[in-house]
Structure 1
Amino acid sequence: MGEETVSCEGEGTALINWQNSRASPLSFLKTQRGNLVDELEAYIDGIVQQALRETLISKDDYEDVVYERGPRKQVRKLLDIIDCLGEESAARFCYLFIQHSKLKKERSKSNANEYLKGIQKHKDVLLRRNDCLKYYNCRHGEKFYFSDHFVNLLLVKGHYSLEIKKNELLTFGQQRIGLQSQKEERVDIKLEQLFQKLCDRKSPKKILVSGVAGIGKTVFVQKILHDFANTTAYENFDFAVNFTFRDLNFINKPVTLRELILKKHGHLSHILDDILNNTEKLLMILDGFDEFKFYSQLDLDQYIYDPNEEAELPHLVGSLIKGELLPEATIVVTSRPTVVNHIPVDSIERFVVITGFSEREIEEYFQKFYGDCIYGSDIFDSVRQNYFLFTLCYIPAFCWIVCSVLKGSTTLQIDQPKTMTDIYCHYLVVILKHHTRQSCVANKTLLEAVLSLGRLAYQSLLQHQTLFYEHDLETFPNLPCDIINSFLDKTCVQELVATENILSFTHFTIQEFFAAFYYAHEVELSHDIMDNGVQSRLFISPGYLDLFNRFLSGLLSVRSQNVLSKHLKLDASRKSEAYRSWLTKSIIENCENGCYIFNQLHCLFEQQMDCLAERITPVTLRLNLSDNIFSPIDFDVLTYFLSLVNMDIEELDMTATQVNAQYLKQLQPYLNRCTKLWLGENNLDKELIGVICKLLESPDCRIKELGLGWAQLEDEDFLELYKALKNNKTLIQLWVEGNNISSKAIEQFSDIPLFTSSLQHVILLGNRVPAQSLSEFKEKPYRNVIVAHIDESFGIDFWQGWWDWIFQRCKICGDEKIVSFLTKVFSGLNVCNERNTSWMRTWYTEVDNLLELRIRSCSVTNIKKRMQSLQQMFIQQLSRH
């Protein structure tokens, strides 16, 4: 408020002047009627009530006044009534207003002082709540201050929910590197610049901050509140209030925004009206949207406008984010990328990505953690050699885990970790060693406690739960307090009649690890999560159990069994051999069917049992890795598998994986065994095109079909392929549809049959080819190799194979990816000459049926609308056939 505080100086001027004049009250009220309406409208409610209390007017008069619509009409009605009452009543009315005006002035000054005191008190409360950083599994008495923590922000042109798919934790390391390198797509900002005007635009009011799990979103919120409370930043705000969606989930009845604020910030009760009257000075932070149980219900038809109006929680949150409720307030929402599609992004004015540590900051963190710069740097250098460990370290929460594991490894004689399960097994051992009573470490009671924790994690995973009440633990009698405090976070939430403690695992991946631990060692399960029927009944979607499966495979490996046997006195699981049989059979089936296989390869990697490769003997080796953003870990997994399974590769699909030149160079020995290679929907820069050209020129190359569709190829890239193909004797088909290749480059390319006898077709649908050029290509020599549009002369089998690949891919794509992919396909089909082919009609019918099924099951409103628009485009094409 401060400078915004309303002043009463100059108010009541007309009536105060009357005191110094000789005019009669009635004549004064008549001559100054216009000025009086202006002066009295702000106080009419209080004046008319005071006039009734002092019997200046009757109850009927009072009702006549308040019945009028609007304060100015009410003033006029009151003046009319006073005029009828005579001089004495008019004089009483004038003195009444003068008294009321002086009282309002005194109250206003008092309120301003209260407001300023309220600001300082609120900052004191926030500082007390956010003084220290809460760290995972810190010992009692340990404190971590913000000066020891790093928060980096990256301002981007939009959110990246499409790129970061399943297992965002594992893909993030590569994304972090990519974001750092895309200088033209980013603007680095400091934390205090978050709310400032950038690039001559207005200051943002609605801000979305996204980042993967464990990257520091909640710490980011705590840092803002801490700095605001310290008055070191954000001077544009008088008040900052924050809510976590984790706490909001426990509100199960209609509520007002006022009640929400006071539920957490009760000390603001006496000045909340002033705060809500000056919302341009208010910052509201909504933390953890991905945990909101109503996250899919923000597509509203009606809004809440009044902070005193009761409404269901999704209506309040949606109205706030869309700017209908408190439109002048600044709203910050934090979320993991996986659910940002449910946020009304059209209302968001600034998108920010929290990028975690940089490489330099990882090293600094190691130095501080070990308390020795030289030793810390030595450990950092060893971690940097391990892609898996180093990728995890970009995420602050897991940098601590890695450091703890490596520190504990030296004292516990643990082998250096190679897999994700290794990390978590060692993490378990280190925490039990250093954060529980030492007398329990070798005791059977400790093992029972870990298994009880696993049962809690497993049952919660089945029910899609990450939060549970403290009283839920009553059914787990073997859970001692030190085990609970070591692996569970506790939050105190105010309920209707009392406070409740809400618990959650310190990270969802830790819950998945304990769930897999329980599954691996429990003989009799009430529900077998690996059973397809159970998954269907529990609405477990594809990808939900990927990390659980990887942990399970690792926990059933010989490596982990040895560690757990040594430190927990845990017998080997009876399920190990049955699991290995299932895994090898699953890999064989997926290889032969060309189904998505990446998670099975990760499970094989977690086993670290090279001899298992001898059991993997598919008839054909087809590896579908599409639509999974490659991380260094994924690359290690793929090379591990290909180094063990020495077979010809019938097909390798790395479509939309963001594969880079470094990966492709290291894969070249294996790619020479490949018959079909698909690299489309990747950004194929000059370096990557160079690697592909060398691959084609290699005398060992066996590639017959190469797919580079929708890969942003320009003429220069296309002609580099032309030069390389002059020395290639194997390639039959080159698919480069949906790129930016011009007729001029195609003209030069079309004489390629003079140099190679193998190449039969170069498919160029959807490139920069005008209709006239399409006809010319068919008439001139050597042009039969160019396929720039759908032509029946190439035969239905030729086109049906292409369409089958597209349709098969659609079946395994998520809803958002289908929209992106089919939009590209449609742009290519839209330039086709042969519109009357019967089999194209069949294509459009198949797409229509597929989209109809997806639309029915899609829960993301904006994605559903995009699918409906796409469906209409295909229906229009169908009507032309």
Structure 2
Amino acid sequence: MKQDELADTLEDELIYTSQLKSDLEKKYQCVFEGIAKQADSTLLNKIYTDLYITQGGGEQVNTEHEIRQIEVAYRRLESPDIQINFKDLFKPHEQTQNIRTVLTKGVAGIGKSVSVQKFVLDWAEGKENQEISFIFPLPFREMNLKEKAEVSLKDLLCEFFPEIKGLDLTRKNKKVLFILDGLDECRLPLKFDGNEIWSDITSPAPLDVLLTNLIKGNLLPHAYIWITTRPAAAGKIPPECIDRVTEVRGFNDEQKEEYFRKRFTDQNMADTIIDHVKKSKSLFIMCHIPVFCWISATVLQNILEKKSKDQTDDTQESNTDDTPRTLTQMYTHFFRFQIQQSRRKYDGEYSPDISWDMDSIYSLGKLAFEQLEKSNLIFYESDLVDCGIDVTKASVYSGMCTQIFKQDTGIILGTVYCFVHLSIQEFIAALYAHLFLDKNKKNVFVQELMEPEAQNETLTGLLKTAVDKALESDNGHLDLFLRFLLGLSLESNRPLLQGLFSQEESIKQNNTEIVEYIKQKFEDSLCPERSINLFYCLNELNDQTLVQEIQKHLSEGSLSSSDLSPAQWSALAFVLLTSDEELEEFELQKFKKSDECLIRLLPVVKSSKQALLNDCNLTDKSCSALARVLSSDNSLEELNISNNNLQDSGVKLLCAGLKNIKCELKKLSVSKCDLTEESCSALAAVLSSDSSSLKDLDMSRNNLRMMESSVFLKD
């Protein structure tokens, strides 16, 4: 290319860049919390709070319910993982190759999309990453609308960003970044192995072919790719296509307070709200998620403003405790408030007395329940029509169901719907299960059955079915739904929903029966995570009896000599996990020296930095359980299992966890465990693996000869 032609090209590119920055700045400078588009917008730079982001997280897929991940993760926020700023996503560390593709994981509502918004805004305003010439944000939820189309990459970009029409993207000496936001919402198959190789950006191809080749580097190999996703969908991208994995862990305790202080100009109100959420452990843990901070702020601001104006005329409000302390109470307040806001904004009506649009709420609940069963978090007009929702009126519920109208891209791609957060979808799905029972006298889980017994279902029957289905789940996908379903059965939570149900049933009797039913479930061989969730369920039902029994044992120091029931062991794990004390050290001898006790308390081990399990009569059965802990998200840095009859079989099982990329164990003591050269070889393989963090290994007082010990001295 001649010098004058090159100069003209560069000048044109600067014009394209300037136009793109201007349009992206307008689009991304405001954040809409709640009712999209119609809400009062807030400048993103005014309220944005930095998130806790770490490098790493590995290639494994975490399919555990995200609320459970949150309850575990909040204890890992101060772990020694490598923290990273979003602005430095593509900057390699020392001895690291160039970073082309970054995968960022995080649970729903943790702040991935808002962080993308902030990244793009900082670039558009000229603050960060100015070495990048063009940034193209391409949300999967919007690309789904073109899933059946054949289009060239160039034409696709021009549809989303008409201001770049005429831009030559093939020039190698300019940086281009594609942001593929919301992989978990992708409805494309992403056939990385089956799709044909595609390298021409001007030739049409199925969208799936374009995306897989863009990620693999066949299309625009010099372009940078940033993909965001919820953890369960991370496995859709082959590990060899990813150069860096980061994880958004949400707000730590200081950032939670910072959010509320930025959210409110009235610092007295901010202080009051912060004090309230701190009083409830479950609420404070949930504030780890930015979206839950917004829900809490919305509800508590509304309550405080009503109190300050002394407006207590609404008997429905005044007859109930107006300071929510459980998740069900918080979400019930939120649901009621959003319905009131909808009437005020769209009908021009406001009254402290709620007026329910029964048909619309029922249809919205059906949508939430059916899509939850399919694990869908986004839906399109056809999904709404199938559930009987009038799409022309759907915006009335956009405080809970967000609409994205792509009217500023040059074309109208269509409308995408989703609940603001998965937990809101789960709450409304649980509400629908109650409404379905009230309306049809049938269990929503067996609604297709025509037998007479299915026609006269009781509330107790519904709750028991839900408990059983939640416990059958491998990943706990119904855990939070179950909490809400049980909480909504509580008599004290019904006044806020008065008028929704045709009749009030004998709730007191039903709750007594379901509490006993849940307690009986502890006698089964439940995995520790399901047991922990049952205690959160009992908390929603205001039953603390098992927890109080364990707290009495703890205060008396009698646990090591007590024969606890399975339910009491689970209660002990729950008490330790929800205590305000830091779980620095877990010492099994304080409780019971057995495999069974260790396995019952695995969630506590998982959240502790140091586990002292020495001299506890453990066998290889415990090693298998510990390997599962080390292979999952955990806080363990030191593990002492000395003076136990582990033998080589146990150490081999343990090594499966030690080799896992999620294992960050630095110190391991297996002294006096009846080990031989087989254990030496297995542990040597761990030490030589690239993923191992192990620095200190104690194998003293085992059946080892010098020759066998020398295995560890080899390069």
Q: TM-score, normalised by structure 2?
A: 0.72
Deviation at 1:247, TM superposition (A): 1.0
Task: Give the structure 2 partner of residue 607 of structure 1.
Answer: 541
Deviations 1:799-828 (A, max 9, x none): xxxxxxxxxxxxxxxxxxxxx9xxxxxxxx
* Change over 3 Å in CA distance of 1:670–1:160 after alignment to 2: farther
Give the share of equivalent positions with the same residue, in percent: 23
Q: Which of 560, 563, 566 is matched with 2:496 structurally?
A: 563
Match among 454, 476, 479 for residue 389 of structure 2: 476
Give the structure 2 partner of residue 648 of structure 1: 564
Asked if 1:148 corresponds to 2:42, the answer is no
User: Given that residues 440 and 446 in structure 1 are in contact (C-alpha distance below 8 angstroms), is that contact kept between their aligned partners in structure 2?
Assistant: no
Q: Secondary structure at the match of 1:544?
A: coil
- Report the Cα offset of residue 717 of structure 1: 3.1
Gaps of 5+ in 1: 1-5, 10-104, 614-634, 697-702, 726-733, 747-763, 775-787, 789-819, 821-881
Counterpart code for 1:689: L
Specify which of 367, 390, 399 is matched with residue 456 of structure 1.
Answer: 367
Alignment check: 8 A CA contact 2:92 2:99 kept? yes
- Aligned match of 1:730: none
CA deviation string 1:169-200 (max 9, x = no partner): 343254144142x22x32x2333222223224
Q: Partner residue of 2:457?
A: none
Q: Could you report, residue by residue, the CA deviation over 1:821-842 in whole angstroms, capped at 9, with x for unpaired residues?
A: xxxxxxxxxxxxxxxxxxxxxx
Aligned-residue offset at 1:655: 14
Conserved 8 A contact 1:119-1:239: yes
Aligned residue for 1:486, secondary structure, equals coil
Deviations 1:653-699 (A, max 9, x none): 89999979856999999956999312569469785428x88xx7xxx
1:530 is matched by which residue type in structure 2?
A: F
1:309 corresponds, among 203, 225, 249, to 203
User: Which whole-Å CA distance do the structure 1 matches of 2:113 and 2:46 have between them?
Assistant: 16
Q: Deviations over 1:294-342 (max 9, x none)?
A: 3564344642222233333332222222222211100000001111122
Name whichever of 310-319 and 153-162 sits farther off: 153-162
Among 237, 243, 247, the residue aligned to 1:353: 247
Q: How far 1:546 moved relative to its partner?
A: 2.4
Mapped to 1, the partners of 2:261 and 2:638 lie a distance apart of: 49
Tell me, in whole angstroms, the C-alpha distance in 2 between the residues paired with 1:583 and 1:345.
45
Pick aligned residue for 1:546 from 479, 482, 487: 479
Amino acid at match of 1:717: N
Contact 1:436 1:482 survives alignment (8 Å)? no
Aligned to 2:332: 425
C-alpha contact (below 8 Å) 1:649/1:673 kept by paired residues: no
1:717 pairs with one of 635, 640, 662 = 640
Moved more, 511-520 or 574-583: 574-583
Please give the alpha-carbon distance, in whole angstroms, between the structure 2 residues aligned to 1:276 and 1:714: 48
TM-aligned CA distance change 1:479 to 1:324, over 3 Å: closer
Distance in 1, Cα, partners of 2:59 & 2:548 = 24
What is the alpha-carbon distance in structure 1 between the residues aligned to residue 588 and residue 668 of structure 2?
Answer: 26
Matched, 1:199 2:94: yes
Change (3 A) 1:154 1:473: closer
CA distance in 1, matches of 2:279, 2:589: 22
d(CA) in 2 for partners of 1:773, 1:432 = 65
Instruction: Report the more deviating stretch, 206-215 or 710-719.
Output: 710-719
The equivalent position to 1:131 in structure 2, one of 17, 29, 33, is 29
* SS, match of residue 275 in structure 1: coil
Structure 1 equivalent of residue 518 of structure 2:
587
Other-structure match for 2:291: 397
| Amino acid aligned to 2:150 | P
Change (3 A) 1:717 1:473: closer
The one-letter code sitting in structure 2 at the alignment partner of 1:592 is E
Report the RMSD for the aligned CA atoms in angstroms: 4.8
Is 2:159 the partner of 1:228? no
With the length of structure 1 as denominator, give the TM-score of the two structures: 0.59
Identify the residue that residue 455 of structure 2 maps to in structure 1.
none
Asked if 1 retains the 8 angstrom alpha-carbon contact of 2:277 and 2:284, the reply is: yes
Q: Among residues 76, 81, 105, which one is paired with 1:178 in the alignment?
A: 76
Superposed, which structure 2 residues align to 1:272-421 within 5 Å?
A: 274-278=168-172, 280-294=174-188, 297-300=191-194, 302-410=196-304, 411=306, 414-421=321-328
Deviations along 1:748-805, one digit per CA (max 9) or x if unpaired, are xxxxxxxxxxxxxxxx5xx85226999xxxxxxxxxxxxx9xxxxxxxxxxxxxxxxx
Comparing 212-221 with 470-479, greater Cα deviation is found at 470-479
Flag the structure with more relative contact order, 1 or 2, with Cα contacts below 8 A and sequence separation at least 6. Answer: 2
2:445 aligned partner, one-letter code: M
Residue identity opposite 1:248 in structure 2? M
Aligned residue number for residue 165 of structure 2:
269
Task: Give distance in 1, aligned partners of 2:132 and 2:549.
Answer: 50
For residues 592 and 640 of structure 1, do their structure 2 counterparts lie closer, same or farther at Cα, with a shift above 3 Å needed? same
Amino acid at match of 2:640: D
Partner of 2:698: none
Letter matched to residue 556 of structure 1 = S
Displacement of 1:228 in angstroms is: 1.3
Deviations 1:67-114 (A, max 9, x none): xxxxxxxxxxxxxxxxxxxxxxxxxxxxxxxxxxxxxx5x65544432
- Separation in structure 1 between the aligned mates of residue 637 and residue 352 of structure 2, nearest angstrom: 63
Can you list the C-alpha shifts for 1:453-479, whole angstroms capped at 9, x where unaligned?
223323433444433344765633599
Q: Give SS of 2:169's match.
A: helix
Match among 500, 511, 530 for residue 445 of structure 2: 530
Q: CA 1:190–1:459 in 2, change beyond 3 Å: closer, same or farther?
A: closer
Whether the aligned pair in 1 keeps the contact of 2:103 and 2:228 (CA below 8 Å) is yes
Q: Distance in 2 between matches of 1:446 and 1:715?
A: 57
Greater displacement, 402-411 / 239-248: 402-411
Contact 1:151 1:216 in 2 (8 A): no
Matching of residue 485 in structure 1 with residue 418 in structure 2: no
1:513 alignment partner, one of 424, 427, 451: 427
2:558 aligned residue: none
Letter in 1 for 2:240: D
- 1:240 corresponds to 2:135: yes
Alpha-carbon distance, 1:158 to partner: 3.6
Instruction: Provide the C-alpha distance between the structure 1 equivalents of 2:486 and 2:549, rounded to a whole number of angstroms.
Output: 14
Contact 2:102 2:245 in 1 (8 A): yes
| Distance in 2, Cα, partners of 1:423 & 1:299 | 46
Name whichever structure is richer in helix by fraction. Answer: 1
**Amino acid aligned to 1:239:** F
Q: 1:233 to 1:742 in 2, by over 3 A?
A: closer
Higher gyration radius (CA): 1
Specify the SS of the correspondent of 1:504: strand
For the residues of structure 1 that align with 2:92 and 2:548, how far apart are their CA atoms?
Answer: 43
Conserved? CA contact 2:142–2:413, under 8 Å: no
1:33-52 correspondence to structure 2 within 5 Å: none
Residue 26 of structure 1 corresponds to which residue in structure 2?
A: none
Over 3 Å counting, the alpha-carbon distance change for 1:639 and 1:291 in structure 2 is farther
Aligned length: 603
Cα 1:555/1:113, change in 2 over 3 Å: same
Check conservation: 1:605, 1:640, Cα contact below 8 A. Answer: no
Q: 1:321 to 1:638 in 2, by over 3 A?
A: farther
Judging changes above 3 Å, is the alpha-carbon distance between structure 1 residues 128 and 686 closer, same or farther for their aligned structure 2 residues?
closer
Which residue identity does 2:148 align to in structure 1? N
Is residue 2:18 matched to residue 1:120? yes
Determine the C-alpha separation between the residues in 1 that align with 2:12 and 2:679: 78
